[in-house]
Homo-oligomer: A and B are copies of this chain.
Amino acid sequence: MRKYKISEIVVKRLPLYLRCLTYLDKMGVPTISSHELGHKLGIKPSQIRKDLAYFGEFGKQGIGYDVSYLRGEIRHILGLTEHIKVAVVGAGKLGQALSDYILLKREDFDIAAVFDRDPAKIGMEVGGVKVSPIENLKEIIQEKEIQMAIVTVPANAAQKVVNLLVDAGVRGILSFAPIAVTVPEGVRFYNVDFTMELQSLAYYLTGQGKNEY
């Protein structure tokens, strides 16, 4: 067993590699070098080799990586060999949009439960399941053994909802609430803020950025 810690930044790059390898595999590309992969992703080949080396020896000198094999290995590393159950808390527009997206994609994740505190939303079908009252969160999450959740509640409710999820046994949380939330050790929390993508796009509209093509 490894004794060293792999940084979150490395783990966050794995899905990027996976997406590219899945595309290459579909296109029938059999092998790819770290240079070609790096060129496609805008990542240094040395970085890719280093990232992958944390998990094993996947490349062959002079040949590169077997696309289909490496894709399978990364899926295995990420624990995507079977569908993962996800709970969604907050059945507003964003919760509905994300749940329906996951349902339609039918890849890697299944919406196993959706919760809201608004009585008007209880029983509505979102992401292929009926919305349950937030009071039943712990019971349903434990019964269905759900370990991952998406939080789309307003900022002022985020910490409370995250506490409920952690108490119910959820260990991975993706929050779209625009606020910092604390979680205990052993729980991984990601805060998604798509305005950060807009901010970096904005750079390319500036005088400095617009020549960088």
**Which residues of A come within 8 Å of B, CB atoms?**
2, 5-9, 11-12, 14-16, 18-19, 23, 42-43, 77-80, 84, 86, 92-94, 96-98, 100-102, 105, 107-109, 147-148, 150, 171-174, 178, 180, 185-186, 188, 190, 192-206, 208-210, 212-213
- Residues in B neighbouring A198, C-beta threshold 8 A: 84, 86, 108-109, 148, 150, 174
Report, nearest first, the 5 A-B pairs whose CB atoms are least far apart.
A79-B206, A94-B97, A15-B196, A93-B97, A172-B201
* Complex CA distance for A185 and B213, rounded to whole angstroms: 7
Instruction: Indicate which residue in B14, B178, B201 contacts A199 across the interface (CB closer than 8 Å).
Output: B14
Kindly report which residue of chain B lies nearest to residue A98, judged by CB atoms. B194
- Residues in B neighbouring A8, C-beta threshold 8 A: 42, 200
Instruction: Indicate which residue in B77, B101, B193 contacts A19 across the interface (CB closer than 8 Å).
Output: B193
- Residues in B neighbouring A178, C-beta threshold 8 A: 101, 105
Q: How far is the CB of A23 from chain B (nearest CB, A)?
A: 7
Q: How far is the CB of A196 from chain B (nearest CB, A)?
A: 4
Q: How far is the CB of A72 from chain B (nearest CB, A)?
A: 14
* Complex CA distance for A86 and B195, rounded to whole angstroms: 11
* Complex CA distance for A78 and B94, rounded to whole angstroms: 27
* Complex CA distance for A169 and B9, rounded to whole angstroms: 35
A-B contact pairs, 22 of them (CB 8 A): A7-B42, A8-B42, A8-B200, A11-B200, A15-B196, A78-B199, A79-B209, A80-B199, A84-B205, A93-B96, A94-B97, A98-B194, A105-B178, A108-B199, A148-B202, A150-B198, A172-B205, A174-B201, A185-B213, A186-B210, A188-B201, A190-B201
Q: A79-B202, A171-B204 are in contact. List 11 more A-B contacts (CB 8 A).
A: A2-B208, A9-B42, A11-B200, A15-B200, A16-B196, A80-B199, A84-B198, A86-B198, A94-B97, A109-B195, A148-B205
* Complex CA distance for A196 and B6, rounded to whole angstroms: 18
* Complex CA distance for A186 and B213, rounded to whole angstroms: 6
Q: Is the CB–CB distance between A93 and B86 below 8 Å?
A: no
